[in-house]
Amino acid sequence: MAEKTSPYGFRYIGAKRRTKEDPRFVTGRGRYAADVQLPGMLHVAIVASPYPSARIKSIQAAEALALPGVRCVLTGAELCAAIDALYVGVDAPKVKRYPLADGLVRYAGEWVAAVVAETRAIAEDAVELIEVDYEPLPHLVDPEEAAKPGAVLVHPEHGTNVLYHRKFVWGAVDEAFDKADHRLAFRARWGRSATVPIETFVAVAQWDAGNEILDIWASIQMPKFPDQVARALRLPGNAVRVHFDIDVGGSYGVKRGIKHTLLVSYLAMKLKAPVRFLEDRLENMRGGDMHGPDRIFDMQVAFDHDGTLRAWKIKALDDVGAYAGRSPLQLGKPVSAICGPYRIPAVEYEPTSVMTHKTPQEAVRGFGQSPTNFAMELTIDRVARHLGMDRLELRRKNLIRKEEFPYRIPSGTTYDSGDYHTVLDKALKAADYAELVRRRDEARRAGRLAGIGVSTCLEPSGGNSSFEPLFNPKNETTTWMDSCLVRVDLNGAITGVFGTSSSGQGHQTLVSTVVGEVLERDPSGIRVIAADSLNALPSNSPVGSRMAIMLGGAAAGAARKIRDTLVRIGAHNLGLAVSAVTYRDGDVFDTLHPEKRLAWDQLVDVAHRKFHKMPPDLEPGLQAKFVWEVPTGGTLPTEDGQVQMYPCYSFETHVVYVEVDPDTGKPVLQRYVVGHDCGVMINPDIVHGMTYGGVAHGVGAALYEKFAFSEEGQLLSGTFMDYLIPSALEVPEISIVDHCTPSPLTTFGQKGSGEAGYLGGPAAIACAINDALDPIGTAIAETPMSHLGLWSLIRAARAKPKMKDAA
């Protein structure tokens, strides 16, 4: 395959090169947690609560235990006494959460008991034989009701259903509202969707009694996972070994799986046998605790006649379901980009996290940013409509200009760099915006509902999770490091080692490309492996679009140390000062007399075998580690809630053309263009792949996907018959236009891109649909924008006297 050279002047970074991982996946040679087969491995199936709220009166397991092949029925009473509660992201110590319910069940689908058997089929047979006697209790499904005083309590010990509430005021918000020419207010609703990877949660645990180590293979993507497992199991950290060298079959945030892992870990230790839980789809959708944000936004905005935005107020009520975990923090990340890409001098933000009797929420791609971007972009379009101003003109007027970077927003974060106007222009050009307008207007003349949507959105990246101390003053974490170890063996081959899981982000391609760049060696020969957690250097895992920045930076740092060592060995053996030699392609030579040189193999040979030729103060061998703190990290929030969060800000603009069938409400996306700037792309194929996937995910959230609950607290979309993920037939052809504004904070100018496509997609689709609905005088402000929902709006609008004519 021909390699295209890097557009940035690098040797490998940015060049179009085959990824390390794809051949393995495409040929079916990935190795997932479900591929781990251990002798004597036992299997788990779950007894789940049919009630959203109930007291467990008794559990009868005798019949199940009598079934041949059944080894154990574990209940919450035993497990909760033996382990500690799971981590809670905010200061709510009485919101206790364990893998199995003990006493109370708080959502339909919650795990009540686990059956362990020789096969999964037997375990399922046994589940049917277990009789649980429940006393149903009152339940709550409405988050606004749940937040009111006197509401039924999901966790009575906590005293309220509110997990977190604070009003942040950054800048002179009320004054801006008083002085502005115009004010607008509206409500937007982000429906409960998630990412639903093909691979459900899988966890395998084995207790190595000889070494007293718990071995874990799990499909996870989670910061501090080994530490949390050890703490909950009351084991020392060095007694838990998480094997990161397995592939995770998709995550996009949700693969936390801590309760799954604790369950099999406890069972493996108790039964002295390896235990696996491979969640099936029904268990996953209802009880896997992987639903995403479920939000009500009350937006207010103040602006002038000329379109200048003066301030906005964002109230966000998020229904996290029955337990906390890290989910309340998904209201925190948006603080890092609370004015979007716009110059808004004053912002008020009032997040409330509330519990209801629903499946718990987990991190979803963007960690709360996509819903917030959706609400912000609807606001911008409403302002334009209110003023009769072109939406693009309004955006251009308020977008931060490239010469204004670094740009400090009111909430205390500084955006590193950007050129939003150029990216917007490039996307519009690629979409042939004028032609789209012509096409839309022609469609409208023919009586069709056609619209164009444009969004301009940010992707905070680099994973400095300062929302943790911001949302929990007892948490003083300011360290968000990542690390890499690079080794050159005595045969001269290079290995990069990272210490976390990979769920498709391409860590192997990343590390090999960066190390190859620094050492000037072909990345295709560089092996990259994941160390297990006992061998690993510290990592904060691939969350928050951070690995290109953090693992990329760490790999470069380690490779530079290797290079420095090689230069010193070369200079020493050439009898020259370090400043008199040149490193090129792995060789070191006399800059003035290039024929005097030591080749790569000779340098490696000295390092590994010829201590007598080593400079006096170097350690033998060729290995280097590099651990680095996230750029701009290391500070705590101020009293008034100002904090530097993510270091890097990627930008995306989506241009979408949609037609909505007025008779059926069916929306069809006919043109889709993304303009994207994530700085220097280490591997363009990986960035584009993530962006395509992110757009598809956004199409799902915007139009199709919803974990709907009945008034009775039952999940109505618990299978793929009703939870509708867009297929290749619903996702339009996507064109991506790249732009590069390097970050001044990172090693090569890279920014993050793991959430690209998802962060601006639902916003643009909503703006397009609203443009289509505008001629009939109606609008939508909720996801998913279902066929039924759109038809209902259209019908209601047609039943009314024509607003446009009346006005």
Partner 1 sequence: MKAAIFEYARADSVAQACSLLAEYGADAKLIAGGQSLVPMMAMRLARPAWLIDVNRIAELKSSRRDGADWVTGAALRQADVERDGEAARAVPLIRQGLYWVGHVQTKNRGTVGGSLVQADPAAELPLVAQTLGARFVLRRTAGERTVSASEFFQAPMMTATEPDECLAEVRWPVWQGERIGSAFDELSIRHGDYAIVAACAQVEVDSAGRCVRAVLGIGGAAAVPVSVEAIARSLQGTQLEDAAIDAAVESIGQYLDPGSDVHATAEYRVHLARVLAARVLRQARANAAGGGRGSRA
Binding site for partner 1 (CB under 8 A): 119-121, 124-125, 128, 280-282, 663-664, 666, 704, 708, 716-717, 719, 721-722, 724, 726-727, 729-730, 786-788, 791-792, 795
Instruction: Please list, residue by residue across 438-458, b when 16 or more beta carbons sit within 10 angstroms of its beta carbon and e when fewer do.
Output: ebbeebbeeeebbbbbbbbbb
Say which amino acid occupies 806. Answer: A
364-382 per-residue burial string, b: 16 or more CB within 10 A, e: under 16? bbbbbbbbbbbbbbbbbbb
Q: How far apart are CA 58 and CA 638, in angstroms?
A: 50
Shortest CB 132 distance to partner 1, Å: 18
- Sheet holding 587-590: strands in order across? 581-584, 587-590, 597-598
- To partner 1, the closest distance from the beta carbon of 288 in angstroms equals 14
- Is 5 or 719 the residue whose CB approaches partner 1 more closely? 719
Q: Which is nearer to partner 1, 166 or 666 (CB)?
A: 666
Q: How far is the CB of 722 from partner 1 (least distance, A)?
A: 6
Position 478: which residue type?
T
Cα 417 to Cα 260: distance, rounded to the nearest angstrom = 41
Nearest to 443 by CA among 656, 654, 660, 655: 660
Among residues 66 and 716, whose Cβ is nearest to partner 1?
716
Least separation in angstroms between CB 693 and partner 1: 18
Using the minimum distance from each CB to partner 1, give the nearer residue, 205 or 699: 699
Question: CB of residue 664 vs partner 1: minimum separation in angstroms?
Answer: 5
Residue 409 to residue 345: CA distance in whole angstroms: 7
**Residue closest to 43 by CA, chosen among 290, 276, 392:** 276
Whether 714 contacts 771, CB under 8 Å: no
Query: Angle of helix 369-387 relative to helix 761-773, nearest 10 degrees?
Result: 30
CA 304, CA 383: separation in Å to the nearest integer? 10
Nearer to partner 1, 565 or 786 (CB): 786
Least distance from partner 1 to the Cβ atom of residue 726, Å: 7
Helices (H), 108-223: 120-127, 143-146, 173-179
Preceding peptide of 136 cis, ω within 30°: no
- Measured CA to CA, the distance from residue 119 to residue 280 in angstroms comes to 14
CB of 788 to partner 1, least distance (A): 6
Report the C-alpha gap between 221 and 365 in whole angstroms. 12
The smaller minimum CB distance to partner 1, of residues 209 and 728, is found at 728
Element (H, E) at 652: strand 648-660
Tell me how far, at minimum, the Cβ of 787 lies from partner 1, in Å. Answer: 6
In the complex, minimum distance from the CB of residue 284 to partner 1, in angstroms, rounded to a whole number? 10
3-state secondary structure of 689: helix
The position carrying tokens 């709006």 is 793
Separation of alpha carbons 760 and 718, rounded Å: 27
Q: Which residue in 730, 596, 732, 728 sits closest to 656, CA to CA?
A: 732
| Residue 606: other Cβ atoms inside 10 A | 23
Q: Which of residues 176 and 776 has its CB atom nearest to partner 1 in the complex?
A: 776
Per DSSP, 291 falls in state B
Phi, psi of 80 (to 5 degrees): -65, -25
Nearer to partner 1, 638 or 664 (CB): 664
Return the structure tokens found at 230.
Answer: 């050890």
- Beta carbons within 8 Å of 602's beta carbon, 6+ residues apart: none
CA distance 51 to 650: 43
- Least distance CB 419 / partner 1 (angstroms): 37
Instruction: Using alpha carbons, list the distances in angstroms from residue 675 to 7, 304, 626, 733.
Output: 17, 29, 34, 14
CA distance 84 to 94: 12
Type of residue found at 617? D
Please identify, using beta-carbon distances, which residue of 213 and 708 lies nearer to partner 1.
Answer: 708
Least Å distance between CB 41 and partner 1? 16
Give the orientation angle of helix 225-233 with respect to helix 258-271, to 10 degrees: 50
Q: Which is nearer to partner 1, 26 or 729 (CB)?
A: 729
3-state SS class at 468: helix
Nearer to partner 1, 125 or 247 (CB): 125
Which CB, 283 or 677, lies closer to partner 1? 283
Shortest Cβ 287–partner 1 spacing (Å): 14
For residues 451 and 766, give the distance between their C-alpha atoms in angstroms, rounded to a whole number.
Answer: 10
Q: How far is the CB of 716 from partner 1 (least distance, A)?
A: 5
The nearest distance, CB 44 to partner 1, in angstroms, is 12
Q: Which of 644, 531, 746 is nearest to 539 (CA)?
A: 531
494: amino acid identity, one letter: I
The smaller minimum CB distance to partner 1, of residues 427 and 790, is found at 790
Torsion 80-85-91-95 (CA) sign: negative
User: DSSP states of 152-171 as a string?
Assistant: PPSSGGGSSSEEEE--EEES
- The smaller minimum CB distance to partner 1, of residues 429 and 787, is found at 787
Least Å from the CB of residue 106 to partner 1? 23
Contact 682, 805 (CB under 8 A): no
Cβ nearer to partner 1, comparing 70 with 515: 70
Minimum CB separation of residue 729 from partner 1 in Å reads 4
Q: Name the β-bridge partners of 712.
A: none
**CA geometry: angle 643, 648, 653, nearest 5 deg:** 115
Q: How far apart are CA 106 and CA 471, in angstroms?
A: 24
Give 392 or 708: the residue with its C-beta nearer to partner 1.
708
Least separation in angstroms between CB 97 and partner 1: 26
Task: Output 211 or 727, the one with its CB closest to partner 1.
Answer: 727
Nearest to 344, CA basis, from 319, 318, 380: 380
Least distance (Å) from partner 1 to the CB of residue 762? 17
Cβ proximity to partner 1, 6 vs 786, nearer residue: 786
